[in-house]
Amino acid sequence: MERGLRRLGPVAERVGVLGGTFDPVHVGHLVAAVDSRHALGLDRVLFVVAGDPWQKRGKVVGSPADRLALVQAAVAPIDGLEASTIELDLGRPSVTADTLEALAAPDRELFLLLGADAAANMPTWRRLEETRDLCTLAIVSRAGEHAAAPSPDWRVAHVTIPRLDVSSSDVRERLHDGRPIDGLCPPDVVREIRSRRLYTRSDGDAAR
């Protein structure tokens, strides 16, 4: 073998894991996924829809089925993005380490995509050390933000995305007040929300 060359082993699939309630999914989620896929050379990004997130218990408005349908509508037209039911299929509350363990495979490298706020909250997570050993932490920050890993022994990548002032809570409030959400959510998601009559005044008290 020539000097400087080495035998190449099997190429691992690089998979991004973007978890959340997606209550509802919006363009900010999509930009984070698309930019992370490009910056990190990911083969695909999974939108893992949370079923019963323990840190948001009692605060999630949309049903698991509705939130999954909105994510499916959002990612369907975009290459490399997929909706995942892995947490919904568990049928019980789960933490991130459970999800990563279920996705782990010898020929797969996992990248946990987290916004700066979520990354800063990681010290409160359950099974944090197991999470560290299962993935590379990809911190997705909007321009001007900064966040660090919980400790120096994490494998960390950083992705910077445009600053988009959109949030699920703002989308819900606009829907509750009868204001438009066009431009904040993909058109297919807007249509799905309207057809299912989601986040309307009838559930507004829970949405605020």
Nearest-angstrom CA–CA distance, 116 and 141: 5
Per-residue pLDDT tens over the stretch 157-205: 999 999 898 999 999 999 999 999 999 999 999 999 999 999 997 654 4
- Residue 1 pLDDT exceeds 60: no
Which pLDDT score, from 0 to 100, does residue 51 have?
Answer: 82
Residue closest to 116 by CA, chosen among 45, 50, 32: 32
Nearest-angstrom CA–CA distance, 12 and 108: 5
Which pLDDT score, from 0 to 100, does residue 149 have?
Answer: 86
Q: How confident is the model at residue 145 (pLDDT cuts 50, 70, 90)?
A: confident
Kindly state which CATH superfamily the domain 13-165 is placed in. HUPs (3.40.50.620)
Nearest-angstrom CA–CA distance, 127 and 70: 29
| Alpha-helical regions (H) of the chain | 27-40, 64-75, 86-90, 96-103, 116-120, 128-134, 168-177, 187-196, 204-207
| pTM score of the predicted model | 0.89
Backbone angles phi, psi at 156, to 5 degrees: -130, 140
Domain boundaries, the chain: 13-165
Task: Decide if 53 contacts 31 (C-beta within 8 A).
Answer: no
| Alpha-helical regions (H) of 41-161 | 64-75, 86-90, 96-103, 116-120, 128-134
Mean pLDDT of 26-35: 98
Nearest-angstrom CA–CA distance, 208 and 77: 30
Per-residue pLDDT tens over the stretch 45-57: 999 999 876 666 6
Nearest-angstrom CA–CA distance, 138 and 40: 9
Tell me whether residue 83 is exposed, middle or buried, using C-beta atoms within 10 angstroms of its C-beta: 0 to 12, 13 to 18, 19 or more: buried
Which pLDDT score, from 0 to 100, does residue 138 have?
Answer: 97
- Residue 107 pLDDT exceeds 70: yes
Nearest-angstrom CA–CA distance, 35 and 203: 33
Nearest-angstrom CA–CA distance, 159 and 136: 13
Mean of pLDDT over the chain: 89
Per-residue pLDDT tens over the stretch 57-86: 667 899 999 999 999 999 999 999 999 999
Which pLDDT score, from 0 to 100, does residue 190 have?
Answer: 98
- Residue 2 pLDDT exceeds 90: no
